Structure formats: C-alpha cells, structure tokens
Amino acid sequence: MRILRLERPDPTRLIEEKIVIARELYELWGEDLAEDEEISPLLPRYTQAVEDSNRVMEDFGTFEECYVCTVIDKKGCCKIGLENECTVLILLLNLILGVEFPEEREVPGRCFFVGPRGCKILARPMLCRDYFCIRHHQKLSESQMARITQVLNEELVLLHQITSLMRRRLEAWTGDFLLELDLTGYGV
Ligand code: SF4
Ligand code: SF4
C-alpha cells in the first residue's frame, strides 16, 4: 500500500497520488466492493439520487447560473485545489461507478476534474454539491432551496453510507488502519 506524501503541498501531486491509490485499491478490491451484499444495493440508489439532484438543480436554473458565472463572467468556484475535497474513498467509488479520470489538469487554475462540459466525475464531495453562493441565494425561492436541500440530503447520506462501508470492508480485508482514505489534503 502506498503512503501519501503529506509533506508536499502541491494540489496536483496530491490528487495524482490519491488517484494512484484509488486505482490500486480498485484493481485489488473493486469487484468485491461492488458485489458486497450491503454496498451493491446502495450503488444504483446513489446514482439515481445524483440524477434526481441534478434534475431538480437543472429545473431551478442553478447549473445555468454556474455556467454564466464560470464561462461568461470568468469567475466560477471550481478552483485549483478543490479536487482534493475528493478522498481516496470518493475516487474509488467513482471507479466502481465506471468513471474515468483525466490524466492531467485540463484547465489551468481550475479543479483537476473540470472539463469543457463541467465536472467530469459522478461521485462528488459534499462541498461541491452543497455549496450555493450568493448568486443562487438571490435567485432561488425559499421553497426551491428547501427542495434542493431535500434531494441533496438523500444523495449525501448515501455517499456517506457507501464510503463508510467501503472503509470498513477495506480495513477488515487488509488489516490496515487506513486513515488516509478519508484525507482531503487541505492545510497540509
Ligand atoms: S456556485 Fe456560485 S460562484 Fe460557484 S460557479 Fe456557481 S454561481 Fe459561480
Ligand atoms: S464540482 Fe467537480 S470540478 Fe467542481 S470542484 Fe467539485 S470535483 Fe472539482
């Protein structure tokens, strides 16, 4: 098992190392995790919950607002370093769900996972999903915000359940105390 080199603060190196570890774990344990009797039924529920959240946010115009902010106003908040909100467990979950990671940062100064059509990964960390800036709060009604919170809650609870189970299984199977699986990397 590789050890993350925590003394290096470079966000690109850190996410690259996390991806290497996630790929190693996927090779060794991906199939077992995907077929685990507790984890496997949660996977389609999770992808459905992500779709449901996306549909509600699309309907309420938050994706459009983020597009205008990012592409037209040249602002946007998917900045370099935020990719490290992804823990190894979240990366591993993406691999189990069939996501392919980019080999390098496509847009300088932006998150490692930003592409021309937005975020390239399916399982995204809580900060990415549950962050609504002032632009959104000015446009969304209270009932719309409540509805978004409701659908996101289902998605994020499932994300927590799945990654917690994955961690427990990996600890049991490897005998390791895998603290680094939950590492984000900030403040390193
Ligand atoms: S959340 Fe706000 S700051 Fe971030 S891209 Fe969307 S509109 Fe812009
Ligand atoms: S939403 Fe995707 S592209 Fe944006 S910061 Fe999160 S992981 Fe990166």
Give the tens place of pLDDT for each residue, 19-56: 999 999 999 999 999 999 999 999 999 999 999 999 99
Please state the domain extents for the chain: 11-35+42-182
Q: pLDDT (tens digit, 9 = 90+) per residue, 139-166?
A: 999 999 999 999 999 999 999 999 999 9
Cβ–Cβ under 8 Å, residues 70 and 144? no
- Its pTM stands at 0.91
CB 113 within 8 Å of CB 119? yes
Ligand minimally distant from the alpha carbon of residue 50:
2
Whether ligand 2 lies within 6 angstroms of the CB of 60 is answered as no
83 lines ligand 1 (CB under 6 A): no
Burial class (CB in 10 A: 0-12, 13-18, 19+), 1: exposed
Residue 77 CB–ligand 1 contact under 6 Å: yes
Which residue blocks in the chain are alpha helix, DSSP H?
11-35, 42-59, 62-67, 88-96, 126-129, 134-139, 142-174
Q: Where does the pLDDT of residue 130 fall: very low under 50, low under 70, confident under 90, or very high at 90 and above?
A: very high
